[in-house]
């Protein structure tokens, strides 16, 4: 059974030593480190963090260790057990890369632990050798903290998120119970405006809502990890934990806190969608190269949809706030010309080279399967509910996927989502898949009507350039079809003057409003340090924000559909301390009540 040892001598060096002791009957053994972390579809080439790799016998005699590929070595072990030793330079903080300083250390199995093909199904033991007083914290330990753990196979090892905590620094671990299972919440660094206790209370609500939905929790225990950062933000899901990075100044107001708790709900929902329910293209993994799938709009898009819905069900967001958020997301999507160019299925497939590698032109050339995938899930849920008069919903599809595949430990066949939905809901869903998933045609929102919801676009008279100006005058991007593009401007140009007057990023929008729609003005800019002149013709075809509003007098059928979808259940109301029998309990916060 392979044994791994993680050693830290001096955190100030940011170096982590990892040894793998493996038994191999082969005379030459290939050892490799993953190039990517499941859940984050980019080849991050974790081997680039390795500053030294060598191999010895278990008695310390040097063995020949040849590097044969960017992430692989061949050890000349002569059919004997050997020790493969690596030193990592851990200075890149994110929820998926190795980091170490005097305040904390953080690693994910994928970026630290090498494997041999023969041992992928073997139990792996990990031992920590840390400076005095330091402690390891991970869901891999029996009680969340310790210095040694065992995992059943290499996939489980890759999934381990391990935080290393020195004494005397700002971190806090709080244990609590939710839906009958042990949970814990670790915060690292100075916590923002909220107390850890209040974060735990809200986490409990989300856990309970998910437990109700799926009929229990599929893990022995669960750990939430939050790094309080300057401005880093992100999250990564694991089987029985999630790791989040969130700016400590970000929770100051209600909007910022909503942002955080949405992130938490998102990562937590991945326990089911992604970690258990996933396409068979994502597991078993090939850790050394891209694992292509066209179904990331399900993996991430549906999770984005549920991250907000869970908040409504948990009483952490009102239906009115929810509808406002959906309107904002539609506006955000439609402000990106790329949504008319790239389908969700293509966006998923190209995640490895597009979503995770954005350039200045991304808004014109692609659409995020998070943003558009979340709206596709909304549309799908609305259509299922409308067609079945709320007898079925996307919940039923997920519960079916959970029992048919997730609980069986297998992936659903890649590209089979239409058949899965038809199996649960009935009917023919080919039109939805052809238009909303496999093409870049506009979404058909007519199902909103069944819920008494009206979608409207706000007309805008504001003149715009269609370019974002940053660092005072640098163009960060130029939108397709915008006045700026018509004028020949591109990202990287330095905007100097419009109509002979100096313009700055802060004043650009107000500056433009003194002119008329259709007016043509001279514009001066630098490109590659050369002064150039062009003419720009202003128009007011910029953003047209979408809003989702409620019809004034909904029919009883509309009100019932709305209620079944968005009004909290009696259990949710009770969770929030609202008396479910009071008439007020059935109202949204703008007074809509059950008809
Ligand atoms: Zn996600």
DSSP codes of every residue in 11-26? GGGTEEEEEEEE--SS
Is position 335 within any domain? no
214 SS3 class: helix
Q: How many angstroms separate the alpha carbon of residue 56 from the centre of ligand 1?
A: 40
Final residue in a domain of this structure, among 230, 257, 284: 257
| 306-334: pLDDT as tens digits | 999 999 999 999 999 999 999 999 999 99
Q: How far is the CA of 325 from the centre of ligand 1 (A)?
A: 18
CA of 573 to the centre of ligand 1 (A): 27
Is position 204 within any domain?
yes
How far is the centre of ligand 1, averaged over its atoms, from the C-alpha of 40 (Å)?
Answer: 8
ipTM: 1.00
CA-CA-CA-CA dihedral for 468, 472, 473, 476, to nearest 10 = -30
Asked if residue 128 and residue 227 are part of one domain, the reply reads no
Q: Would you say 279 and 107 are in contact if contact means Cβ atoms under 8 Å apart?
A: no
Q: Is position 149 within any domain? A: yes
- Going by pLDDT thresholds of 50, 70 and 90, the confidence category of residue 567 is confident
Helices (H) and strands (E) in the chain, counts: 16, 29
> 271: CA distance to ligand 1 center in Å?
10
Looking at the structure, do residues 95 and 25 belong to the same domain, yes or no? yes
CA distances from 123 to 115, 129, 182 (A): 12, 20, 24
Calculate how far, in angstroms, residue 301's C-alpha sits from the geometric centre of ligand 1: 8
- Write the pLDDT tens digit of every residue in 502-547: 998 889 999 999 999 999 999 999 999 999 999 999 999 887 889 9
Report how far ligand 1's centroid is from the alpha carbon of 270 (Å): 7
Does 454 have pLDDT greater than 70?
Answer: yes
Q: Containing domain of residue 558, as a range?
A: 552-586
CA of 259 to the centre of ligand 1 (A): 14
CA of 497 to the centre of ligand 1 (A): 43
The predicted pLDDT at position 5 comes to 98
d(CA 580, CA 379): 29
Residues 209 and 247 in one domain: yes
CATH of the domain at 146: 2.60.40.3650
Tell me, yes or no, whether 205 and 150 share the same domain.
Answer: no
Query: pLDDT at position 577, please?
Result: 60
Q: Are residues 528 and 580 in the same domain?
A: no
**How many independent structural domains does the chain possess?**
4
Q: How far away, in angstroms, is 277 Cα from ligand 1 center?
A: 13
How is residue 533 written in tokens?
């002149």
335-372, pLDDT tens digit by residue? 999 999 999 999 999 999 998 888 889 999 999 999 99
Is 31 a member of any domain?
yes
Q: Could you tell me the pLDDT band of residue 169, with boundaries at 50, 70 and 90?
A: confident
Q: Ligand 1 center to residue 510 CA distance, Å?
A: 38
Distance 509 CA to ligand 1 centre (A): 35
Which residues contact residue 14 at a Cβ distance below 8 angstroms, ignoring those fewer than 6 apart?
89, 90, 91, 99, 100, 101
Measure 264 CA to ligand 1 centroid, in angstroms.
10
Query: Are the beta carbons of 256 and 58 closer than 8 angstroms?
Result: no
Which residues lie below 8 Å from residue 567, measured CB to CB, with a gap of 6+?
319, 586, 588, 594
113 touches 4 (CB < 8 A)? yes
How does 47-59 read in b/e, with b if 16+ C-beta sit within 10 Å? bebbeebebbeee
Q: For position 92, what pLDDT does the model report?
A: 93
Cα of 25 from ligand 1 centre, angstroms: 40
- Dist. CA 268 → ligand 1 center (Å): 9
CA distance 147 to 481: 58
DSSP letter (8 states) at residue 584: G
- How many angstroms is it from 594 CA to the middle of ligand 1? 34
In CATH, what number is assigned to the domain containing residue 483?
Answer: 2.30.42.10
Query: Cα of 308 to ligand 1 centre, how many Å?
Result: 13
Distance 369 CA to ligand 1 centre (A): 10
Q: Among the three residues 165, 180, 203, which one is the final residue of a domain in this structure?
A: 165
Tell whether 159 and 175 lie within a shared domain: no
126 and 201 within one domain: no
Handedness of CA 502, 508, 510, 511 (dihedral sign): positive
* Cα(501) to centroid(ligand 1), Å: 46
Q: What is the pLDDT of residue 504?
A: 87
156 in the same domain as 223: no
Looking at 3-134, which runs of residues are DSSP E strands? 3-7, 15-22, 28-32, 50-57, 62-63, 65-69, 72-76, 82-89, 91-94, 97-100, 105-108, 124-129
pLDDT by residue (tens digit) across 251-295? Answer: 989 999 999 999 999 999 999 999 999 999 998 899 999 999 999
Tell me if 38 is assigned to some domain: yes
Kindly report the average pLDDT of the chain as a whole number: 93
236 is a domain residue: yes
Given pLDDT bands bounded at 50, 70 and 90, which one contains residue 142? very high
Ligand 1 geometric centre to CA of 121 (Å): 27
At residue 568 the predicted structure's pLDDT band, cuts being 50, 70 and 90, is: low
Q: Cα of 372 to ligand 1 centre, how many Å?
A: 14
Distance 39 CA to ligand 1 centre (A): 7
Which phi and psi (to 5°) does residue 379 adopt?
-60, -45
Confidence of residue 488 (pLDDT cuts 50, 70, 90): very high
Q: Are the C-beta atoms of 247 and 232 separated by less than 8 Å?
A: yes
Residue 483 belongs to a domain:
yes
User: Are 40 and 58 found together in one domain?
Assistant: yes
- Distance of CA 27 from the midpoint of ligand 1 (Å): 42
Instruction: Say how many Å lie between the CA of residue 299 and the centre of ligand 1.
Output: 7
Domain shared by 156 and 176, yes or no: no
Establish whether the linkage from the previous residue to 284 is cis, with ω within 30° of 0: yes
Neighbours of ion ligand 1 (CB under 5 A): 300, 303
Same domain flag for 19 and 135: yes
In a domain, 572, yes or no: yes
Q: What is the CATH number of the domain that holds 237?
A: 3.30.2010
Q: How far is the CA of 300 from the centre of ligand 1 (A)?
A: 5
Domain boundary among 257, 291, 324: 257
3-state secondary structure 247-292: EHHHHCCHHHHHHHHHHHHHHHHCCCECCCECECCCCCCCCCCCCC
pLDDT digits (tens, 9 = 90+) for 458-487: 877 899 999 999 988 999 999 999 999 999
Co-location of 142 and 222 in the same domain: no
Parallel, antiparallel, or unpaired for β 222-229 and 241-247? parallel
Q: Looking at residues 572-585, what average pLDDT do you find? A: 52
Ligand 1 centre and the CA of 273: distance in Å?
9
pLDDT at 472: 84
Residues 201-234 have pLDDT tens digits of 999 999 999 999 999 999 999 999 999 999 999 9
């Amino acid at each position: 059974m392979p044994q791994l040892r993680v050693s830290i001598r001096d955190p100030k060096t940011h170096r982590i030593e990892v040894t793998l002791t493996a038994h191999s009957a082969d005379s030459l053994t290939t050892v490799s480190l993953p190039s990517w972390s499941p859940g984050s579809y980019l080849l991050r080439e974790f081997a680039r963090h390795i500053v030294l790799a060598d191999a010895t016998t278990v008695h310390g005699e040097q063995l020949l260790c040849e590097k044969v590929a960017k992430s692989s070595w061949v050890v000349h072990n002569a059919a004997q057990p050997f020790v493969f030793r690596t030193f990592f330079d851990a200075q890149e903080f994110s929820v998926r890369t190795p980091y170490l300083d005097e305040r904390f250390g953080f690693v994910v199995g994928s970026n630290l632990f090498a494997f041999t093909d023969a041992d992928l199904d073997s139990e792996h033991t990990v031992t920590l050798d840390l400076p005095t007083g330091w402690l390891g914290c991970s869901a891999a330990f029996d009680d969340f903290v310790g210095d040694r753990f065992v995992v059943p196979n290499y996939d489980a090892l890759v999934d381990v998120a391990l935080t290393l905590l020195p004494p005397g620094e700002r971190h806090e671990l709080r244990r609590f119970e939710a839906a009958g299972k042990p949970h814990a919440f670790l915060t690292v660094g100075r916590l923002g405006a909220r107390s850890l206790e209040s974060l735990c209370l809200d986490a409990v609500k989300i856990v309970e809502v998910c437990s109700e939905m799926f009929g229990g929790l599929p893990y022995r225990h669960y750990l939430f990890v939050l790094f309080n950062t300057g401005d880093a933000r992100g999250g990564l899901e694991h089987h029985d934990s999630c790791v989040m990075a969130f700016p400590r100044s970000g929770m100051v107001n209600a909007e910022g806190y909503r942002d955080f708790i949405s992130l938490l709900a998102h990562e937590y929902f991945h326990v089911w969608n992604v970690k258990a329910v996933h396409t068979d293209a994502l597991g078993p993994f090939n850790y050394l190269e891209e694992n292509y799938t066209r179904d990331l709009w399900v993996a991430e898009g549906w999770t984005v949809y549920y991250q907000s819905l869970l908040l409504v069900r948990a009483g952490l967001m009102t239906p009115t706030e929810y509808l406002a958020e959906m309107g904002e997301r539609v506006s955000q999507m439609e402000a990106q010309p790329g949504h008319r160019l790239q389908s969700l299925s293509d966006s998923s497939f190209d995640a490895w080279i597009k979503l995770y590698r954005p350039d200045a032109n991304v808004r014109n050339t692609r659409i995020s399967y998070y943003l558009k995938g979340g709206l596709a899930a909304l549309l799908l849920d609305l259509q299922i509910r409308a067609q079945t008069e709320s007898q079925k919903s996307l919940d039923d599809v997920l519960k079916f996927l959970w029992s048919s595949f997730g609980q069986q430990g297998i992936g659903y066949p890649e590209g089979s989502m239409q058949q899965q939905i038809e199996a649960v809901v009935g009917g023919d869903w080919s039109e939805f898949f052809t238009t909303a998933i496999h093409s870049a045609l506009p979404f058909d929102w007519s199902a909103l009507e069944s819920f008494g919801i009206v979608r409207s676009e706000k007309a805008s008279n504001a003149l715009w350039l269609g370019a974002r100006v940053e660092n005072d005058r640098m163009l960060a991007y130029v939108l397709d079809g915008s006045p700026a593009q018509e004028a020949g401007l591109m990202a990287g140009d330095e905007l100097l003057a419009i109509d002979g007057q100096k313009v700055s990023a802060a004043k650009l929008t107000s500056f433009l409003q003194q002119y008329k729609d259709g007016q043509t003005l001279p514009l001066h800019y630098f490109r590659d340090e050369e002064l150039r002149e062009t003419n720009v013709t202003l128009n007011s075809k910029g953003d047209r924000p979408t809003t989702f509003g409620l019809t004034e007098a909904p029919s009883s059928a509309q009100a019932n559909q709305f209620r079944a979808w968005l009004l909290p259940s009696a259990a949710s109301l009770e969770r929030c301390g609202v008396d479910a029998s009071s008439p007020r309990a059935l109202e949204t916060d703008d007074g809509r009540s059950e008809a």
